[in-house]
């Protein structure tokens, strides 16, 4: 396959994973459809942000954190405009993480008090703040805290990213 592509660049590039994006979109669509069906059956969600949208938001924030870190690693912030842009990114990211945490307290019951005991993130930059996905908790904490199948939703979405 690689050799064919090297000879003829009009063929599908074997180094680009088109299938992955399609699979991820299919999983997201299926999760959202399942939530719509559940809502139509009278199973209301405890928050306007559904469980799958909550995990999708968290994954997007995780990617944003990765991008900021990568940008910091690859750039010398010599210009004032670059430093201002970085501060703007961090402010937006911080705001989004605060929004995530407010939703997180609905789907991960008790996470706020648990974090207060275990973690001190007040001095961290937004790109370094742990988002505390269900998978980052111990099995016991996950079982006690996680509601509305968010553990399974995260697993499906992460698997679809591979």
Domain span at 106: 2-161
Indicate whether 146 pLDDT > 70: yes
Q: Count of domains in the chain?
A: 1
Q: How confident is the model at residue 144 (pLDDT cuts 50, 70, 90)?
A: very high
Nearest to 60 by CA among 105, 17, 92, 12: 92
Does pLDDT of 69 surpass 80? yes
**Tokens in use for 144?**
């006690």
């Amino acid at each position: 396959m690689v050799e064919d592509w090297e000879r003829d660049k009009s063929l599908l590039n074997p180094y680009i994973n088109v299938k992955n994006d399609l699979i991820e979109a299919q999983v997201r669509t299926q999760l959202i459809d399942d939530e719509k069906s559940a809502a139509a059956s009278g199973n209301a969600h405890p928050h306007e942000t559904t469980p799958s949208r909550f995990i999708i938001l968290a994954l997007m924030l995780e990617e944003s954190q990765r991008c900021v870190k990568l940008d910091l690693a690859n750039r010398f912030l010599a210009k004032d405009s670059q430093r201002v842009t970085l501060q703007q990114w961090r402010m937006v990211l911080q705001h989004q993480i605060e929004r995530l945490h407010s939703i997180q307290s609905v789907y991960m019951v008790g996470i706020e008090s648990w974090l207060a005991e275990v973690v001190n993130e007040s001095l961290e930059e937004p790109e370094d703040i742990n988002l505390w996905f269900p998978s980052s908790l111990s099995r016991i904490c996950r079982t006690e805290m996680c509601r509305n199948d968010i553990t399974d939703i995260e697993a499906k979405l992460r698997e679809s990213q591979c």
